[in-house]
Amino acid sequence: MNHSTQKLNLDALRKERDGMEANGREFDQVSVLMDDIQKLCNQLLEITKERDEVLTQAEELQNAKAEQQLLMERCHDKFLNAKAEVEELTMKLSTLENV
């Protein structure tokens, strides 16, 4: 091989090496991006689980609030009935005392 052929082969090898180095850097960047994407997906999954737990708790609180409201209404009804009964008995007692 003559000197110019060797120089061309050496230049071609250098270009190929440079291209491989560039591809290697790009691969490293892609790998870092893939890791970042995986981390974001994991964070999204965790946030979604937390949101679902909060929604479940909120629903349970709503149910408890509705049950509490129903119990309060029942207690109020019983109170009104008891009050009416006391008033009725008071009137009967008053009538008996006047006799």
CA 31, 33, 34, 35 dihedral sign is positive
pLDDT of 1 reads: 62
Q: How far apart are CA 74 and CA 66, in angstroms?
A: 12
Q: For residue 62, what are the CA distances in angstroms to 4, 20, 55, 56?
A: 86, 62, 10, 10
Q: pLDDT tens for the chain, 99 residues: list them.
A: 666 777 677 777 778 887 777 777 787 788 889 999 999 999 999 999 999 999 999 999 999 999 999 999 999 999 999 999 999 999 999 888 887
Beta strands in the chain (DSSP E): none
Task: Collect contacts of 62-65 with beta carbons under 8 A, ≥24 apart.
Answer: none
Question: What is the distance in angstroms between the CA of the first residue and the CA of the last residue of the chain?
Answer: 143
